[in-house]
Amino acid sequence: MKFVLQPWQLILIILAGWINRQQQEVIEYLRTENVVLKEKLGKKRILLTDDQRRRLAVKGKMIGRKGLEEVGSLFTPDTILRWHRQLVASKWDYSDRKEQKPGRPRTRQVIVDLTVKFAKENPTWGYDRISGALSNVGYHICDSTIGNILKAHGIEPVPDRKRTGSWETFLKSHWDVMASIDFTTVEVWTKSGLTTFYLLFVMELKTRRVHFAGCTTNPNDAWMKTISLELTNHEDGFLKDKKYLIMDRDATFSKSFRSCLRRDGVKPVRLPPRSPNLNAYLERFFGSLKTECLHKLILFGETATRKAVRAFVTHYHTERNHQGLGNDLIVPMVRPPDMDAEIETTERLGGLLRSYFRAA
The pLDDT of residue 132: 82
Q: Are residues 321 and 179 in the same domain?
A: yes
Domain identity same for 182 and 316: yes
**Would you say residue 358 lies in a domain?**
no
Residue 105's pLDDT is what?
76
pLDDT computed for residue 332 by the predictor: 80
Q: Judge whether 270 lies within some domain.
A: yes
237/146 same-domain check = no
Phi-psi region at 355: left, alpha or beta (left = phi > 0; alpha = psi -120 to 50): beta
Please indicate whether residue 251 or residue 40 has the higher confidence score (pLDDT).
251
Q: Are residues 122 and 189 in the same domain?
A: no
Residues 70 and 145 in one domain: no
Pairing status of strand 267-270 against strand 244-247: parallel
**Higher pLDDT among residues 228 and 273, named by residue:** 228
Q: Over the stretch 192-244, which tens digit does the pLDDT of each residue have? A: 999 999 999 999 988 899 999 999 999 999 999 999 999 998 888 999 889 99
Residue that finishes a domain, picked among 134, 165, 196? 165
What is the pLDDT at residue 26? 66
Same domain, 207 and 285: yes
pLDDT value, residue 160: 57
Q: What does the alpha-carbon distance between residue 303 and residue 45 come to, in Å, rounded to a whole number?
A: 76
In 10 A of CB 252, how many CB atoms? 16
pLDDT value of residue 135:
83
Q: State residue 340's pLDDT score.
A: 80
Among 51-60, 119-128, 193-202, the minimum mean pLDDT is found in 51-60
153 and 181 part of one domain: no
Average pLDDT in the chain? 80
pLDDT tens profile 131-182? 888 888 888 888 888 888 888 877 777 665 555 555 566 666 667 788 999 9
Residue 192 sits in the same domain as residue 144: no
212 in the same domain as 115: no
Average pLDDT over residues 11-33: 69
- The Cα–Cα gap between 15 and 21 comes to 10
310 and 183 in a common domain: yes
pLDDT given at position 294: 93
Asked if residue 130 has pLDDT above 90, the reply is no
Residue 340 resides in a domain:
no
pLDDT of residue 258: 93
Burial environment of residue 57 by CB neighbours within 10 A (0 to 12, 13 to 18, 19 or more): middle
| Tens digits of residue pLDDT in 288-342 | 999 999 999 989 999 999 999 999 999 999 988 888 777 888 888 777 777 788 8
- pLDDT at position 19 is 67
Residues 81-107: tens digit of each pLDDT: 677 677 666 666 665 555 555 666 788
Whether residue 153 is found in the same domain as residue 266: no
Domain assignment of residue 157, yes or no = yes
Q: Give the chain's radius of gyration (CA, Å).
A: 39
Total count of domains within the chain: 3
Range of the domain at 118: 109-165
pLDDT for 343 equals 81
0.95 surpassed by pTM: no
Residues 87 and 205 in one domain: no
